[in-house]
Amino acid sequence: MMRLRFIYEKRGLLSFVPHVELPPLICRAMRRAGYSIARTMGFSPRDKISLGPALPIGVIGLAEPAEIWLEKQDVPQVEQINRYMPEGLRFHCIKEVDARVPSLNKLCTAAHYRVYFNVENALDKLRSFSVEEWDALGKIEHLVFGNDYIEYVQLDPARAGLTKLVSVLKEKGAVKGWEDLFMVRLAVGVLKGGEVCPPMGPAELDG
C-alpha cells in the first residue's frame, strides 16, 4: 500500500459541493484513471482517503491538501487524473509520503484567506475594530487591507474558520451575511516564515 499526498483546487460550481461529498468525486476519477484505491478495515470498509480542514459551501479553495492510499503501483500522473475530474476540481501536484509523516489534521495549523466585500464601508468598519474585536475572530496574523478585500492568516483553521468571521461581521454591522462576501482560501498547511505552505513532506518529519 502506498500513501499519497496531493494538492487540489475547487472553484466554480464545485465550490458549492459539500466537503463530505468530495472524496467520492476524487476516488471516482482515480478509478477511471486506472488506479486501485485501498480500503479501510472493519465491518463497513470505505475508500482510504483523508481531506484537510473543511471549507464552507461556496468558498473557493486554491491549494487544498488531501491524501489517499493506493494499492502499490506507480505514483499517478496529475495530467492523467485531471482528465477524469469534474470541471472545477483539479490536482496541482501529487507525491508519495513516508508513513511516519504526521496526519493532515496535525499539520494543517494555518490557513491563508482573502475575503472580498460587496458592500460599501465594510472595510472602514473593520479598520475601526478594537484589539478585543479582532481577538473574537481567533488567532489572526499578517492582516492586510486591500482596496476591496482583507487578507490574513488564520491559525487553527479547523476551530476558528470563516463561519466565525461572518458571525462577527454580522454582529458588528459590517455585512448582512454570506451574500455580501466572496471568499477564497489561498492555502492551508504549515505557517513558515509568514507563509502558509502545503504539508507535502518529508520536511514535516523534522517537526
Q: Domain boundary residue among 105, 139, 159?
A: 105
For residues 159 and 83, which has the higher predicted lDDT (pLDDT)? Answer: 83
End-to-end Cα separation, the chain, in angstroms: 25
Whether 207 maps to a domain, the answer reads no
**Residue 158 belongs to a domain with what CATH number?**
3.30.70
- Quick: pLDDT tens for 33-59: 999 999 888 788 889 999 999 999 999
35 and 127 belong to one structural domain:
no
CA-to-CA distance for 133 and 148, rounded, in angstroms? 20
- Which residue is associated with the grid cell 472595510? 123
Count of domains for the chain: 2
CA-to-CA distance for 198 and 96, rounded, in angstroms? 14
Mean pLDDT for 196-206 is 66
Whether 175 maps to a domain, the answer reads yes
CA-to-CA distance for 189 and 111, rounded, in angstroms? 6
7 and 85 belong to one structural domain:
yes
93 and 116 belong to one structural domain:
no
**Predicted confidence (pLDDT) at residue 61 exceeds the cutoff of 90:** yes
Confidence of residue 202 (pLDDT cuts 50, 70, 90): low
Instruction: Give residues with Cβ within 8 angstroms of 72, minimum separation 6.
Output: 1, 2
Mean pLDDT for 149-177 is 86
Say what the pLDDT of residue 201 is: 62
Sign (positive or negative) of CA dihedral 72, 49, 95, 104: negative
Say what the pLDDT of residue 205 is: 39
CA-to-CA distance for 22 and 33, rounded, in angstroms? 17
Q: Is the peptide bond before 18 cis (omega within 30 degrees of 0)?
A: no
Instruction: Give residues with Cβ within 8 angstroms of 80, minimum separation 6.
Output: 33, 34
- Quick: pLDDT tens for 97-125: 888 888 888 889 999 999 999 988 888 88
118 and 75 belong to one structural domain:
no
61 and 123 belong to one structural domain:
no
Range of the domain at 30: 2-105
CA-to-CA distance for 130 and 42, rounded, in angstroms? 51
96 and 146 belong to one structural domain:
no
122 and 100 belong to one structural domain:
no
Cell of 125: 468598519
CA-to-CA distance for 135 and 137, rounded, in angstroms? 5
For residues 102 and 189, which has the higher predicted lDDT (pLDDT)? Answer: 189
**Residue 53 belongs to a domain with what CATH number?**
3.30.70.580
Relative to beta strand 181-192, strand 60-70 is parallel
Confidence of residue 204 (pLDDT cuts 50, 70, 90): very low
For residues 146 and 121, which has the higher predicted lDDT (pLDDT)? Answer: 146
